[in-house]
A and B are shown apart, each in its own frame.
Chain A
Amino acid sequence: MKRITCAVVLATVAVLVWVATPAVSQPKVVRIGDLGSKVGVFEGYGKYQTMGIQMAVEELNAKGGVLGHRIEVISEDDETKPAPAVRKAEKLILQDDVKLLVGVVSSGATMAVMDVTKKHKTIHWNSVSCAEFMRTTKFHKYYFSNQPDSRMQANGLAKYIIDRMGKRVYIFYTDYAMGQSDGRQFKTALERLGGEVVGVAGAPLDTKDFSPWFGAINTANPEVLFLAFAGTDSLRLMTQLHSFGMTRKYRLAGIDCFLLQQDLASIAEPMEGFVQLNHFSAYNPDTNMQAFNARFKKKFGVDANIAAGAYDAVHFWAAAVEKAKSFDPDRVALAHEGMCLDNTHIGRQCIRKEDHQVVMDMHLYQVKGGKNLPIARIAGTDSIGEPMVGKDPVEGFSWELKKKN
């Protein structure tokens, strides 16, 4: 009987060891979340965000992961709306236990997700959204951004427009968080520099026909038409402006995310001469951008674009985790502050301690023959502005037009 008992115990132990062995030999895994638009008006940005994350994760995993953990990416679609974005963020954090959340694309959704990452103390990187509230009133210690926000963009663009394009500007924006923010900050910067805003109008996100606004633009008779749109809205708007002869009538300029390089080829003619602010272009001769783009193109077969900033977000986070020697969000957040990385997709970049904004040089490009060619460079330190954590960035702002004599 004893022998049988002994045999059973041994067999059980053997089975347990056999079952447990694979688990022990499995490398430890840390998950990160990729939340963004996978379909709809901003899906182009969401797709490239995912690609940037994948590329960074493969590089890190090839070197042993982070803190001995292999990195695993879980991607979710936020449907470009705040409510699903919040739901998916909760799922990624609570169910999948992600230690980093990268996203989202639309500013409205990003601000909604910021409440979630603040509540659950999760490191949150934004590489696409640009509303001005994210590093001011909505800011929290776990939030970081390497997307130039509206204030940075306006500072970079307004001076060039006044100096080189014209002083009478009409602001046409997409009427939700991102466009309103870009419109507001641009109006503020332009008026501060002595320019005149001759008209403003907002069209809802995902507008199909922009022609109802064209009459008002023509009546205002601006020199420059400033456009704060993104995604498929930009494509449609440019096509329609062109068909109404307005791309030839006015000088046109737009924000950082106005149009992805990939979409440019399909509307090269309407976009000819368009001045766009960007922090990355595959056609910029900058050696860092060229080196990054070559690796990106080799892997995915397409040029990179601004959404590939998500690549840097993952590298910053991994470096911060290694520095903190922990995944603890408080320690990782602290390790981020003031950190600099040399090998980002646009060269050396540093995170400003006060508002967790990456100080990035801004580049102005002009579309010529379907390519974004660089025409000016504005140092990140000149465009970033003072830290305004907790302060209202739109205090005293009014959409009211100031008539000039």
Chain B
Amino acid sequence: MDYLVAVLLPQLLHGLVFGAALGLLALGLTVIFGLLGVMNFAHGELYMLGAYAGIAVVGLTHSFWVAMILAPLSVAALGAVTEIVTLRPIYRREPLYGLILTFGLALVFREGARQIWGGDMRRILPPVTGSTPLLGMTYPNYRLFLLGASSVLLLLIWVFFTRTRAGVLVRAAVQDAEMLDGLGVNVPRLFTLTFAGSAALAALAGLLLAPVFTVYPQMGVEMILLAFIVVILGGMGSMGGSVVAALVIGIAQSLFALWMNPQRVAIAIFGIMIVVLIVRPRGFFGREGVLE
């Protein structure tokens, strides 16, 4: 019983917090993939840029809350320009072009950040301080805020995709963009806005996790692998699947860390992915025809 309360439950909470934030990052990735058919290798760098943009905004305004609005917006603007200038010309080409292009963009963004902000690790102070006695330990209030904020954001995104016209249009475009084009919807603009929205989500995840994990140019590289696993596990292009998979990965990672070296945890996570793909080749909620 002691073990359950003192060890297992706190780990479960750590996993939930991390999984919810990972869900935000992975959701943007899966939407871009579902809609544009592009595995965006630069998504991790948009996550990183969100954190750096947050540092810049906090430096100017001394407000994390303002940064939560302005940082995602600035990264969304960068995402929109990137989509128009680089991705739009290659949509009709093979997926490999998108892979190579976004891989190149990731390098450009990462080294650009290093040139602008330097390679040193930076820290953003959490806007919510203090801690709360919980499950026999002192739990940081910011992590509880992170869990709450990520959950609310995921809920809002679900409402957007299911209850708003714009959201329905995006889902329709995921299903059949040509049909939507034929119905008179400005599909290129929809693509641009969706890419920008996904970039904003990644940026928001980067900013929210920055007070926990700190900020440095390679931070995106380290998260993107997990995000890819989440997207694959959840089912390529499935938004609900990504959220479920993010929570599964977050909790699994946290619990496995109790019993094994974290380097082996990474192997175990890959093991989960392999087992799921053997049993369900399209992931938890993957649809037929996507990447097939």
Residues of A whose CB lies within 8 Å of any CB of B are 38-40, 43-44, 175, 202-204, 207-209, 211-216, 218-219, 232, 235-236, 239-240, 243-246, 249, 263, 266-267
Of the candidates A43, A212, A235, A244, which one forms a contact with B257 in the assembled complex, judged by CB atoms under 8 Å apart?
Answer: A212
Contact, CB under 8 Å: A232 / B216: yes
Partner of A204, one of B18, B122, B123, B261: B261
Across the interface, which residues of A come within 8 angstroms of B138, CB to CB?
Answer: 244-246, 249
Chain B residues near A232: list those with CB within 8 A: 121, 214, 216
Q: Shortest distance in angstroms between B264's beta carbon and chain A's nearest beta carbon?
A: 10
Residue of A nearest to B217 (CB): A39
Q: Is the CB of A215 within 8 A of B131?
A: no
11 more A-B residue pairs beyond the given contacts A204-B262, A214-B137, A240-B212, with a C-beta to C-beta distance below 8 A: A38-B119, A39-B217, A39-B218, A43-B119, A207-B262, A209-B14, A212-B14, A215-B6, A215-B7, A216-B7, A266-B122
Known contacts A212-B254, A218-B6, A219-B6; A244/B131 CB under 8 A: yes
Our pick among B131, B137, B142, B213 for the contact of A209 (Cβ within 8 Å) is B213
Are A204 and B257 interface neighbours, CB within 8 A? no
Is A209 in contact with B18, judged by CB distance below 8 angstroms? yes
> CB-nearest residue of chain A relative to B214?
A236
Is A209 a contact of B212 with CB atoms below 8 Å? yes
Instruction: Give the docked Cα–Cα distance between A240 and B131 (Å).
Output: 12
* Closest 9 pairs (CB-CB, A-B): A245-B138, A212-B257, A243-B140, A232-B121, A215-B7, A208-B213, A245-B131, A39-B119, A211-B14
In the bound complex, CA of A135 to CA of B262 (Å)? 31
Query: For A44, what are the chain B residues with a Cβ–Cβ distance below 8 Å?
Result: 120
Contacts of A239 in B (CB 8 A): 123, 211, 214
User: Is B168 an interface position by the 8 A CB rule?
Assistant: no
Chain B residue at minimum C-beta to C-beta distance from A242 = B140
Which one of B11, B122, B137 contacts A212 once the chains associate, using CB atoms below 8 Å?
B11
CB within 8 Å of A: which B114-146 residues: 114, 119-123, 126, 131, 137-140, 142-143
Q: Mark B15-41, 1 if CB is under 8 A from A, else 0.
A: 000100000000000000000000000
Q: Which of A202, A216, A239, A249: most chain B Cβ within 10 A?
A: A239
Task: Assess the B261–A215 pair: CB atoms within 8 A.
Answer: no
Contact A243–B131 (Cβ < 8 Å)? yes
Cβ-closest chain A residue relative to B17: A211
Q: Is B72 an interface residue (CB 8 A)?
A: no
8 Å CB contacts to A: which residues of B122-178? 122-123, 126, 131, 137-140, 142-143
* In the assembled complex, B258 has its CB within 8 A of some CB on chain A: yes
- Tell me the bound Cα distance from A246 to B120 in angstroms: 25
Decide: A43 and B7 in contact? CB cutoff 8 A: no
C-alpha spacing A44/B126, complex, angstroms: 24
Q: Shortest CB–CB separation between residue B187 and chain A, in angstroms?
A: 38
Q: Which of A211, A216, A235, A266 has the most CB of B within 10 A?
A: A211
Residues of A within 8 A of B214 (CB): 232, 235-236, 239
Chain A residues positioned under 8 Å from B121 (CB to CB): 232, 235-236, 263
Interchain CA distance A39-B217 in the complex, whole Å: 10
Q: How far is the CA of A204 from the CA of B7 in the complex (A)?
A: 20
In the docked arrangement, what's the CA distance between A249 and B137, Å?
A: 11
Q: How far is the CB of B18 from chain A (nearest CB, A)?
A: 7
Bound CA–CA A207/B213 (angstroms): 9
Q: Which residue of B lies closest to A219 (CB)?
A: B6
Interchain CA distance A175-B213 in the complex, whole Å: 19
Minimum Cβ distance to chain A for residue B232 (Å): 21
> Quick check: is B206 within 8 A (CB to CB) of the other chain?
no
Give A236's nearest chain B residue, CB to CB: B214
Report A41 CB to chain B, min CB distance, Å: 9
Contacts of B122 in A (CB 8 A): 266
Min distance, Cβ A51 to any Cβ of chain B, angstroms: 14
Say if the beta carbon of B79 comes within 8 Å of chain A: no
Closest to A40 in B: B218
A240 to B126, CA, bound (A): 11
B258 contacts which chain A residues (CB < 8 A)?
A: 212, 215
What are 27 A-B pairs with beta-carbon distances under 8 A?
Answer: A38-B119, A39-B114, A39-B119, A39-B217, A202-B261, A207-B262, A208-B222, A209-B213, A211-B10, A212-B11, A212-B14, A212-B262, A213-B257, A215-B6, A215-B10, A215-B137, A218-B6, A219-B7, A232-B121, A232-B214, A236-B121, A239-B211, A239-B214, A243-B140, A244-B140, A249-B138, A263-B121
